[in-house]
Structure 1
């Protein structure tokens, strides 16, 4: 079983441990970042194994090379290939230590994209030399460290294929020529989700698409819309001779070797138990207090104060109702309750408000009036990568934030990408948590109050 658990099992399982986004680890001191990435990967593997998960579709090995990237952003460890490479290797070591198979992604690099492949296929126009120097570096490091699988990107690379209409997932030049022949990777290639718009409607049927992708070099098809049609299409393609049987056998052998690797690490019965009875000892690993404490520690250490020239930080709890706290969330997938609770507990007299992407102008006008008599306004901006939504604040949200910063003493905090902070140079202080997970929300409020920094 595989799962998308970049931020820990808590990303998918309620009550399990959820770590901050990868960029938060990249913000940690150099002496601690690798150790904490490795430890967090061990926790993810430990809790994942307790839930019956064998494969994590992580780490993200992309180098985030543009502030406009709507789908990678804070999911990347950073913006420099050397640092990303070190942390990718640390993640792989942690997974291996606890018996989890890991999947560096999205090959050959998703960090330059400015479109969301859930909706359309991005095209990366970088030269081959640029890709070699930057985008491919973390993957070379991952393969040297022993990455088990690799996930392909639904992104076109004209410098590698000669056209802008073929994604890496469907390119023999990339999956066989570059990945296998040049870079020497022998593990399975798993596609990114086949439910994404970048690869929808590219063939006459799901079966035809599956056959083409397997023929191009994909070994495992992730999230097919119609699994039965895919299986039938593969059979028909083999029988018709359009998909070589040897290619199917090759994909099967690579997948089988993964199972053998798990059996070698754990013993066959532990890796693939035939007794489905519940083990309470395993369950107690999930969301263990020590694991949750590690997530909180990482979140606190990651918070970065980018400027505080006026000495506005830390806020004093005695400021009372003269502090107005406004959360602007760019995406729909958002938990407003936890942040409100943290503000109430840490800055109990502050007035708290929230405005999501669908906020109406009349509601923003009410917030403007609430801020009118404030000594300090705190704007917490949640801008995170997520599928199928506009990346960044909406125009009304952005205009509101600009007005508040221009008219009132305002602290601007980012619960996500730090790039949003550059839009507000007039803020009296700016800080970033790099993530909006529960631990990061709590850590941001603690930092505002001067706790833990």
Structure 2
């Protein structure tokens, strides 16, 4: 437990270099080698970084954009995370602010920890913000159990582009008012446990078809349209009081006086739109500076860090050039500029360090079941048609495959399935997409898409979809008896789907996106 009075007093003793170090949030990795851990300890000791952001491993999706490295599994990831946080805190002259992306729980980064539903599932809830509040609360408790102060969530991007490769299921939906309300409930639940949040990705990453991990997305909309839609949830939450806002790597010329630079290095967008026009005076954090949307354009070490800071970012997330970044900032920034960001960060850190830690992870089962019952959505058909279908001599077909399964094996199994259902007239199809992201048709093989579409066209089919509803863009459901969207493939969601099919539960959810 931090002695908060000593910590507040320490603020007076920081040198200009130490204050500049507080701006930096390098990445830390749960599955690092001892050599890599020692390098991070050296970074903390020598440069007095203010915070760390934890990721699963150096081969995980957030760092291994092209997927060339094999992801290491670690059944003890949670305990490893706890020990690493304690170890890094011990070598820090000033307490570190520990951050993580836990949009649907620590499981977003850590195995064997509670997983809660994706935002798109919460978006299907009608007037059940209390459940979303509890989600924020539960995830915050898990963060505290790990030693994490700052959950870099939720996304308030509007889910308006079905081909979005990086947001999609991470958004509450397409309706700006509902997104704002649901995000507010999540934030309030998190704040109730004393954990910090960060709404993202300003000025709105929803309407893009480019992954900013790989390249810079362009949003070519007029300013008035952006203000009315994309900026709306950010404005509403600013008015309610939030801890921080994360800036996305997005080119939005209408907000940057016609410039096509990334929002994360644009003074017009951060200082002009966000601070001056929208009245936000809290902490601004950059999206990860290792992302190719910006990193590939600034080969000189320290240049990107300086430009991001000069544009208005107070915290430089996933900064890869800490030493050079500190030196460049000290050379170029005014004392007042550094002091302003330092004051914001120190104040946020003081708030976080006042929070008592917790020791146990939450139990997700009961809350997930309640959400499953309230989110399940009857997209096509009606309850009566499903009741009539139950009286037929139907067969049940489960299509579920891991995305890393060998294609030849999948095709062989598909041929067996075809022969098994060839003479069936009615099929209850339980469909789980191989992946949640839309890239490569959600991981489906083309042969699988053709088979599913033919099945729906030629037989009486009731379809239960345990995954991203945008999958329905790729199959023709015109002849389906009924289509029910379950959103998740957790066991409790499967159990609720069974109860719905048996007629013991009505589907009361509402699809939060347009297909």
TM above 0.5: yes
99, 105, 129: which one aligns with 1:2: 99
Report the counterpart of residue 324 of structure 2 in structure 1. 233
Let me know the Cα RMSD of the aligned residues: 2.8
Q: 2:484 corresponds to which residue?
A: 431
Q: Is the 8 A contact 2:432 2:489 kept in 1?
A: no
* Length-normalised TM-score, structure 1: 0.81
Distance 1:207 1:73 in 2: 33
Structure 1 residue 259 corresponds to structure 2 residue 332 = no
Offset of residue 317 of structure 1: 11
| C-alpha displacement of 1:109 | 0.7
Structure 2 match to 1:447: 500
> Residue 278 of structure 2 corresponds to which residue in structure 1?
183
- Shift in alpha-carbon separation, 1:195–1:394, aligned structure 2, 3 A: farther
Q: In the alignment, which of 232, 237, 246 is matched to residue 336 of structure 2? A: 246
**Distance in 1 (alpha carbons) for counterparts of 2:307 and 2:118:** 34
* Contact 2:138–2:362 (CA under 8 A) maintained in structure 1: no
Q: Deviations over 1:29-76 (max 9, x none)?
A: 22xx21111111111112211221111111111111122222222211
Aligned pair count reads 404
How big is the shift at 1:430? Answer: 0.3
Are 1:134 and 2:225 matched, yes or no?
A: no
Question: Where does structure 1 lack aligned partners over 5 or more consecutive residues?
Answer: 272-281, 333-354
Q: What TM-score do you get using the length of structure 2 for normalisation? A: 0.72
C-alpha spacing 1:195/1:63, structure 2 compared with 1 (3 Å): same
In structure 1, the partner of 2:385 is 311
2:141 aligns with 46
Aligned twin of 1:61: 156
- Deviation track 1:242-284 (CA, whole Å, cap 9, x = no partner) reads x4443333222211111122245x3xxx46xxxxxxxxxx333
Q: Is this contact kept in 1: 2:386–2:481, CA < 8 A? A: yes
Partner of 1:411: 462
Indicate the larger mover: 372-381 or 138-147: 372-381
Match of 1:399 in 2: 450
* CA distance in 1: counterparts of 2:227 and 2:328, whole angstroms: 35
Q: Matches of 1:357 and 1:410 in 2, distance apart?
A: 26
Q: 2:316 aligns with which of 193, 196, 221?
A: 221
1:400, 1:15 → 2: CA distance? 35
Pairwise CA distance, 1:10: 3.5
The separation in 1 between residues aligned to 2:284 and 2:489, in whole angstroms, is 31
Alpha-carbon distance, 1:403 to partner: 1.8
**Mapping for residues 188-203 of structure 1, pairs under 5 Å:** 188-203=283-298
Q: Which residue is equivalent to 2:399?
A: 326
Q: 1:211 aligns with which of 287, 302, 306?
A: 306
SS at match of 2:417: helix
- 1:22 matched to which residue of 2? 119
